[in-house]
Chain A
């Protein structure tokens, strides 16, 4: 019986020892090798002081080591915490200190940033994956890990409800919040997704998303559960559609999963007419809506491929899906997010948590085994994030409040309509606009500021900020962007910052963000955007 995520790797190593589990840049690692290497890493971490329930950071560019790190850490009984390799040091420090990370798994390309992290985070004790000098922090290279004698991972009394991984996401107060997932929630998701999309050991999955983005769990969990091969796509390919579309062809990928942005880029600039994607049987997209005209064009180009809209906040991994039928030429509405999937329950409620009439707009609440336990160290946020329904007299069913507004269509499918709060999606990444404003307000020369997201014609969105400086201040917009780049991940830094002398206000004197956004949209139209 499989009840822990790493058991998926060991099971596939028994069934398909010589089958490739992961591929990266033309190189592969078999299931037998992945099982061996993760056992070694787990033993090493244990010797270095990692105990059951600890949190271990993963600070890696995409690489085969990503898979070794994820499963090795979990085999050591710890939860893995992906650290965004592109995030500024100040933000990583918040994460490392928030969940008390003492050990990090990394590799030589990150050596310079690791040195900075060590000087910023006195709690760090050990770095695996590179050699450090002139520091009291212990280090063990990958060569040393791999040359350990073979042997099984430490014997631990782990249960399915123990922590498996923590993923951090934007928090509205300016402090990222960590979603605690268990072996149970992660494995429930892996099994459900494998079932819905019929994943087998013959499949070749794309890994487009970075580790700190929850979509990566399909590639890293469902793949090994089924003995499939996951193609880890190097960062550079994700930015060059013509190279990316060639990789899909050359690696004969069978299931693709990403935000719509990556697919739209390939559709528009990926010289698709020259590519052979005949191996591709299923395209999964999620994270944000897919512009209907682009979705239709991509589906027409790939008539043999199925398409599914996948929905679910990272707190629940996934909770609905919609298998997209061929889209008629005259239809330009968003495709639905579908129905709540098996072994799950959804409610659409009003402001008072009362179910709305079918067809009315409300917030989606979800109860599902794929749900997180809560936010690390934040009972307040956790309590607010859940809705508790009394059952059996004195017990509770716990639902996650998605914050997403939906509407049930006559045929029972759910349509996504927007957010209850000020969270926006930038190329699939969640950004709390309040967090951007908090970061801007920390600049000593900023008096007031406001941010808003603008939709672009290609289906993307960009963040813009407007700023009133303090009297006598002389900082430029570019310098403010530089300030934000040291506090926020790259996708959360506004595309444009405008300096103003005053803002439109509401009658109560508050900043009128709606009016600001409308002004900006007019300016965007005027510029031909």
Chain B
């Protein structure tokens, strides 16, 4: 499963508890209520575990975490730059 699918599965199953929910790669996750403040913390933990990337607090911003696509781009750049 690619990272975008993994993120979506985590959000709809683990955070929202609504496995059948449709979620778009460009949906505004933080406006929707699917991900609240504690959800962000859990999501970061999940991403760090899955990718081995360290995500410092200063980079947990709207630009990097507003949508599934933004997260995938951010993580992709982190992996490339090591």
Contacts and interface: CB of A to CB of B under 8 A. Distances in A.
A197 interface: no
Interface stretch (B3-11, B30-38, B74-82): B30-38
B61 A242 contact: yes
B9 to A, nearest CB: 13
Given A242-B57, A481-B17, 16 more contacts: A236-B66, A239-B35, A239-B36, A239-B37, A239-B39, A240-B30, A241-B60, A242-B59, A243-B62, A269-B57, A271-B57, A427-B37, A485-B16, A485-B17, A491-B36, A495-B38
Interface in B16-50: 16-19, 28, 30-31, 33, 35-40
Interface residues of A, number: 30
A482 B37 contact: no
30 contacts: A61-B31, A85-B33, A109-B31, A234-B31, A236-B31, A236-B66, A237-B62, A239-B30, A239-B35, A239-B39, A240-B30, A240-B40, A240-B62, A241-B57, A241-B60, A242-B57, A242-B58, A242-B59, A242-B60, A243-B62, A274-B58, A427-B37, A478-B13, A481-B17, A482-B17, A482-B18, A485-B17, A485-B18, A490-B33, A491-B36
A238 interface: yes
Interface in A268-300: 268-271, 274
B36 to A, nearest CB: 6
Nearest to A85: B33
Interface in A191-240: 234-240
Nearest to A61: B31
Contacts of B35: 239
Contacts of A243: 60-62
B51 to A, nearest CB: 19
Interface string A11-52: 000000000000000000000000000000000000000000
A236 B60 contact: no
Contacts, number: 60
A73 B58 CA distance: 41
A240 B17 contact: no
A261 interface: yes
Closest A-B pairs by Cβ, 8 of them: A236-B30, A86-B33, A481-B17, A271-B58, A269-B57, A243-B61, A243-B62, A239-B37
Contacts of B31: 61, 109, 234-236
A316 to B, nearest CB: 28
A442 B38 CA distance: 27
Nearest to A270: B57
A110 B25 CA distance: 19
A240 B65 contact: yes
B61 A240 contact: yes
Nearest to B17: A481
A330 B60 CA distance: 33
A265 interface: yes
Nearest to B14: A478
Contacts of A271: 57-58
A491 B38 CA distance: 11
Contact of A236 (B19, B28, B58): B28
Contacts of A478: 13, 17, 19
B57 A261 contact: no
A242 to B, nearest CB: 5
Given A261-B37, A481-B17, A240 B58 contact: no
B72 to A, nearest CB: 17
Nearest to B13: A478
Nearest to A460: B38
Among B28, B35, B37, find the residue whose CB has the most chain A CB atoms closer than 10 A.
Answer: B37
A233 B19 CA distance: 30
